[in-house]
């Protein structure tokens, strides 16, 4: 029996938010709160630049735990860049392996240099579990 393949495009969240790298961490926290998300995509500065990401955990570890002022730290100081992106056609089983191999909790789904969505543990696990049960 063939198992159905679940692709990244099938499970990705298409609601995401972007932020400029020069924005403050305070701006990022407001975006996290307003959009109820766990990852912000840091915009490219130009066509030759790469996307970055900032996670809630980045703020907790690199700002809160270090007792830094959210209004004095810029997103570019704490973001991860370049971000590992995946293709929309990637099987979520390979996405899970990528997460494990590189210590990721989220990644960006992109095609042709354009962001299409975001995938995290929740997006991988729930559809896989529902398919197998």
pTM over 0.75: yes
* Integer Cα distance of 21 and 74 in angstroms: 7
Tokens representing residue 116 in the block:
């299409």
pLDDT tens, the chain, 133 aa long: 557 899 999 999 999 999 999 999 999 999 999 998 889 999 999 989 999 999 999 999 999 999 999 999 999 999 999 999 999 999 999 999 999 999 999 999 999 989 999 999 989 988 778 777 6
> 60: Cβ–Cβ under 8 A, 6 or more apart, which residues?
none
Enumerate domains of the chain plus CATH numbers.
8-132 (3.10.580.10)
* Nearest-angstrom CA–CA distance, 108 and 80: 12
pLDDT at residue 1, as a whole number: 52
CA atoms within 13 Å, Cβ hemisphere of 11: 28
Give the per-residue pLDDT at 130: 79
Q: What is the predicted pLDDT for the residue at 29?
A: 97
């Amino acid at each position: 029996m063939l198992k159905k393949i679940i692709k990244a495009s099938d499970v990705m969240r298409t609601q995401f938010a972007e932020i400029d790298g020069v924005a403050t961490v305070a701006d990022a926290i407001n975006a996290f709160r307003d959009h109820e998300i766990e990852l912000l995509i840091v915009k490219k500065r130009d066509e030759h630049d790469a996307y970055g990401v900032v996670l809630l955990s980045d703020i907790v570890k690199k700002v809160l735990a270090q007792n830094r002022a959210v209004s004095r730290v810029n997103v570019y100081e704490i973001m991860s860049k370049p971000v590992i992106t995946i293709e929309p056609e990637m099987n979520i089983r390979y996405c899970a392996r990528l997460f494990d191999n590189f210590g990721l909790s989220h990644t960006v789904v992109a095609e042709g240099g354009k962001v299409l969505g975001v995938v995290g543990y929740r997006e991988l696990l729930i559809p896989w579990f529902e398919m197998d049960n």
